[in-house]
Amino acid sequence: MTATASTWDYVHYDAAEERLRESLCTLGNGYFATRGALPECAADDVHYPGTYVAGCYNRLTSTVAGRTVENEDMVNLPNWLTLSFRAAGGDWLTPDTAPVQDHRQTVHLDSGVLERRTRFALGDGRALTVRQLRLVHMADPHLAALRTEFTVEGAGTDLDVESALDGDVTNSGVPRYRDLDGRHLTHVHTGADDGTVWLRCRTRTSDIRIGMAARTSAGAPVAPGREHLRVAQRTTLRLEPGRTATVDKIVALHTSHDPAISDPLQAAVGRVAAAPGFDELLAGHRTAWGQLWRRAQLEVPGEAGAILRLHLFHVLQTLSPHTADLDVGVPARGLHGEAYRGHVFWDELFVLPYLNLHFPEVSRALLQYRHRRLERARTAARAIGRRGALYPWQSGSDGREETQRLHLNPHSGRWLPDHSHLQHHVGSAIAYNVWQYCEASGDAEFLHTKGAETLLQIARFWADSATWDGHLGRHRIRGVVGPDEYHEAYPGAVEPGLDDNTYTNVTASWVLTRALEVVRSLPEPRRRELVERTGLDGGELEQWEDVSRTLHVPFHEGVISQFEGYGDLAELDWAGYRERYDDIRRLDRILEAEDDSVNNYRASKQADVLMLGYLFSPAELRALFDRLGYGLDDDTWRRTVDHYLARTSHGSTLSGLVHGWILARARRAGAWTFCQEALKGDVADLQGGTTGEGIHLGAMAGTLDLVQRCLTGLETRDGALWLDPVPLPELSSYGFSIRYQGHWGVRLRLEHGHLEIAVPASDRLPIDVRLPDRALQLQPGDTCRLVLPD
């Protein structure tokens, strides 16, 4: 693999690497995406040509380990990509069945095009070169196109070509899910008319109707053919040496979720009939990508810059401006595969801070996804006897809790109880994103309406979850699971849950404080409406104030404890386990396979307490602890960071990101090591095969935000842009543009101790900029260059 700022290039065919390449070569436009599988290859143990529409879910029940389980999945839709070829009368050619003399796949990041070149040996001194250009259209989100060029060497050859829409697909891209029912499509019908073939179907329980149509053109007559669950267009090309024959395939995709249509099949047939040819489609697609790149401009030199461009490419393919028109959340694994079943977790905590400063309309849409499910979250809170809103750890179509109750440990082969639904801190992540979006965008309308309603109900849940402990003289939140995820219960406990997870309690205090601030600052007519709708009264606000100042934070041995009782756990023999196992990232699975439990040890999968240093600046974190009545000096925080650094297995792609962020902000050695792990998490598949099941979108977006906010110290608060750059010797020169409170294309560049800020000309108000040693006001059209202190 070789990479530049504009291309991502794989040379030679390697079946063992194919799933990884398919994920990283996925093309999408925010509405749908298709994995980078070779069009002639069907789904098997090597290849997996999945196509996914954002928000298209279906629910099925399965019997696993003697129990009936229900799972909702993002559905693998009919395969539009299929295009097969063979020398007339021979076998269909694939890299697995025919000799491959040369093979290359290139993702062109600037234009959003996947190029493929393969040279097959045909025998008798003949060779066939296949070049393909593929796009999932960024301007028209319902279109995709595939151009295939065939060139023969040695002697003339007749070539059979078949272009198909294949409805015989299942969700089978993740081996550990294969005990679950994966056949989500039913009522598959096909047909052909006026040079177009079509396929329609629907999901089995969610009853989403899907329409797909294709138009294939070649330099020879094309004839339709129908088979079971499949429809094709076939032709035979006469290839002569030195002459290239071209086959173009244009595809349209609609579902019954789409606005402004009556029937998805009619819409797909009409759209593909009206679509221009490949060249015109490509031109429009390139223009749309050029506009995206200007809005998300990023300049970072070297290998890090190349990886960051790839990360940005995949973020934009999953969450593009088209997302602003959809009712969808942030799928943790993108639209790139079936891991986590396409569910929405807390990953938006790592994604929205980046989007807020480039595509705020997308951030708003993602927050509206949460607001639309506020009533479902209130229902979930009532079900456990609480007020307010309890958002699910895993969300899908309608906002109910989608976390599985069983999960498979591939080390032991055992199905085990899953208690991760107790990660109630997801509500704090949603509240944090509401606040950060409004601070960055200046969207007072959203803050005063949907934002205030969401914040209020999350705050109400935390206040009602807190119980008073007279012995401690503190409020406590019991029975939760923190971001670490390893620890779900106390050693030997029958019931799951932990008490006073520090991250949970501190972020709950922050939510209560922000909710109070919002309620008190609302315009009086709006505050009256909110009070009338929610029954909010002065006594409840007093309770929020009290709880926000008295939540318990445990300490042990001079450091902040992950949860109450953490200091009583045993120490793990880290050196011994690293010696016995090549990779201990999933230490929980290793210990369970040994009939032990990670609950017994001071061992974390990923940052938990340290997540506080990711969300909050040092000054803000100190203020939070002060509000709670605890001192947090630099020495205590340094000891806390060191304690957990030595006891974390980094079993998540987010772990390297958070640890790199914290060390960089503290100007400590080792920051770049963790930053590199975050950068290479997917491209090098550091989690041992998981990227082939889908990218890790939170980690990808987080690395972009590492440059945007961590290294610059950028904060948007109190109506100003705050900057406090920190030096990172390995990345001392970089630049990017942001969109801040209506200012488009505000340019920041840091280079060798100098900071340049340029504000494009407009009719907007000036921007207030705050640095540790100065404050300045920049008018539209101004550029300033500052020398930074050492």
Handedness of CA 523, 526, 531, 536 (dihedral sign): negative
Given a contact cutoff of 8 angstroms between Cβ atoms, the answer to whether 577 and 587 are in contact is: yes
- Classify burial at 44, counting beta carbons within 10 Å of its beta carbon; exposed 0-12, middle 13-18, buried 19 or more: exposed
94, 95, 98, 103 alpha-carbon torsion, rounded to 10°: 120
DSSP string, 187-207: EEEEEEETTEEEEEEEETTT-
Q: How far apart are CA 445 and CA 780, in angstroms?
A: 24
Q: How far apart are CA 642 and CA 635, in angstroms?
A: 11
Given a contact cutoff of 8 angstroms between Cβ atoms, the answer to whether 687 and 653 are in contact is: yes
CA angle 542, 543, 545 (to 5 degrees): 65
Handedness of CA 634, 640, 643, 648 (dihedral sign): negative
Residue 120's alpha-carbon distances to 12, 17, 38, 39, 107, in angstroms, are: 12, 19, 14, 15, 21
Please report where in the chains the tokens 């007749």 appear, as a residue.
158
Eight-class DSSP state of 788: P
Given a contact cutoff of 8 angstroms between Cβ atoms, the answer to whether 456 and 534 are in contact is: yes
Q: How far apart are CA 777 and CA 757, in angstroms?
A: 11
Relative to beta strand 555-556, strand 715-717 is unpaired
Q: Where is 235: in which H helix or E strand?
A: strand 230-239
Enzyme catalytic residues: 485
Q: How far apart are CA 532 and CA 220, in angstroms?
A: 70
Given a contact cutoff of 8 angstroms between Cβ atoms, the answer to whether 233 and 166 are in contact is: no
Given a contact cutoff of 8 angstroms between Cβ atoms, the answer to whether 113 and 135 are in contact is: yes
Phi, psi (deg, nearest 5) at residue 173: -85, -10
**What six digits make up the tokens of 773?**
């040693």
Q: How far apart are CA 529 and CA 525, in angstroms?
A: 6
**What six digits make up the tokens of 466?**
């807190």
Phi, psi (deg, nearest 5) at residue 309: -65, -40
Eight-class DSSP state of 439: H
Given a contact cutoff of 8 angstroms between Cβ atoms, the answer to whether 688 and 653 are in contact is: no
- The alpha carbons of the chain give a radius of gyration, in whole angstroms, of 27
**What six digits make up the tokens of 63?**
């019997």
Give the CA count within 13 Å in the CB-facing half-sphere of 540.
19
DSSP string, 481-513: --TT-S--S-TT-SS--BS--HHHHHHHHHHHH
Scored b (16 or more CB within 10 A) or e, 312-338 reads: bbbbbbbbbbbbbebebbbbbbbbbbb
Relative to beta strand 767-771, strand 720-722 is parallel
Q: How far apart are CA 736 and CA 165, in angstroms?
A: 42
Q: Kindly give the residue spans of alpha helices, DSSP state H, lying in 217-256.
A: none
Q: How far apart are CA 149 and CA 131, in angstroms?
A: 5
Eight-class DSSP state of 109: T
**What six digits make up the tokens of 274?**
């009206």
Contacts of 300 (CB under 8 A, 6+ apart): 308, 707, 731, 734
Contacts of 521 (CB under 8 A, 6+ apart): none
Given a contact cutoff of 8 angstroms between Cβ atoms, the answer to whether 433 and 503 are in contact is: no
